[in-house]
């Protein structure tokens, strides 16, 4: 059902989107700009985490704490997403097991090539 509402929002003319956000702002207790950011955040995360070629990822950082856990009242300009490096390089070692600069450099080069 959430996808249906989000799609309808993006199908609205820009002026109707603005009117909707303005009318919801007092009800939600947030500025219209923050509501719009939240809609875009949900849209981007939905697309990102449903990519057919996606790798194991985690949504993290201040925005995730605010969005997922309501732990803080913050909304950053960016979205922090971490990709599990072990999904990019076959037989990638655990970071803790890398003890030399040459091993770090080799892993770094392999990740850049991936």
* Whether residue 96 sits in one domain with residue 78: no
* Whether residue 94 sits in one domain with residue 74: no
Using one digit for the tens of pLDDT, what is the confidence trace for 67-77? 777 766 667 77
Q: Which domain holds residue 106?
A: 86-114
More reliable by pLDDT, 17 or 112: 17
* Whether residue 106 sits in one domain with residue 70: no
* Whether residue 61 sits in one domain with residue 41: yes
Total domains in the chain come to: 2
- Look at the block and give the residue holding tokens 């003319």: 13
Task: Indicate the Cα dihedral angle 81, 82, 83, 84, nearest 10°.
Answer: -150
Among 111, 29, 9, which Cα is nearest to 70's? 29
Using one digit for the tens of pLDDT, what is the confidence trace for 38-93? 899 889 899 999 988 888 888 888 888 887 777 666 677 788 888 877 777 777 77
* Whether residue 56 sits in one domain with residue 111: no
- Distance, CA of 30 to CA of 26 (rounded, Å): 7
């Amino acid at each position: 059902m959430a996808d249906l509402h989000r799609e309808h929002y993006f199908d609205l003319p820009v002026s109707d989107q603005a009117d909707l956000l303005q009318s919801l702002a007092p009800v939600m207790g947030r500025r219209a700009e923050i509501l719009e950011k939240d809609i875009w955040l949900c849209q981007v995360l939905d697309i990102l985490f449903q990519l057919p070629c996606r790798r194991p990822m985690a949504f993290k950082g201040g925005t995730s704490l605010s969005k997922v856990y309501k732990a803080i009242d913050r909304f950053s300009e960016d979205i922090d997403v971490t990709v599990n490096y072990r999904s990019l390089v076959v037989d990638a070692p655990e970071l803790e097991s890398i003890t030399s600069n040459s091993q770090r450099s080799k892993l770094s080069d392999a990740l850049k090539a991936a």
